[in-house]
Amino acid sequence: MKAILDTHTFLWAILDDGKLSRRARLVYTGSNDLFLSIASVWEILIKTQAGKLPLPEPVGPYLVKKLVQNQIELLPVTLDHVLGIESLPMHHRDPFDRLLIAQSIKEKWPIITVDPWFTRYKVEVIW
């Protein structure tokens, strides 16, 4: 199965802080193709620079190392993904989440997230 990791899901998984649900942990540790959106990388950089997200190492090298260690692929942001945002209802205003939702719809892959807002869209949510 292919699935997209929401930003918090990726962070909780790599920091191993126990916040993942049982189902999310099974998908994360199973033989699945997991993807982290470039949008999530951008969001992590912004939050780290703003002092809202402390990481144990500099962001760039740390993320690259964790992606490789956990066999997570990067999902590029394409024009189709961005244009898909236009057709989304305005249930949620977070631009990063809206892009992840558009990517999930376009790729037809579920998204692993605890965020209840995602269930208001036509995406498969795993939690």
Q: Which domains are seen in the chain, by residue range?
A: 2-126 (3.40.50.1010)
**If you average pLDDT over residues 83-101, what whole number do you get?**
94
Task: Please give the sequence-ordered ranges of beta strands (E in DSSP) within the chain, or none if there are none.
Answer: 2-5, 33-37, 72-75, 111-112, 125-126
Residue 96 has pLDDT above 80, yes or no: yes
Whole-number Å distance between alpha carbons of 61 and 122: 35
- Between CA 10 and CA 17, with CA 16 as vertex, the angle to 5 degrees is 100
**pLDDT band at residue 127, thresholds of 50, 70 and 90?**
very high
- 0.75 cut: is pTM over it? yes
Lowest model confidence (mean pLDDT) among 25-29, 54-58, 116-120, 123-127:
54-58
Residue 46 has pLDDT above 90, yes or no: yes
Please indicate whether residue 57 or residue 5 has the higher confidence score (pLDDT): 5
Distances from the Cα of 106 to the Cαs of 50, 92, 110, 117, in angstroms?
31, 18, 11, 18
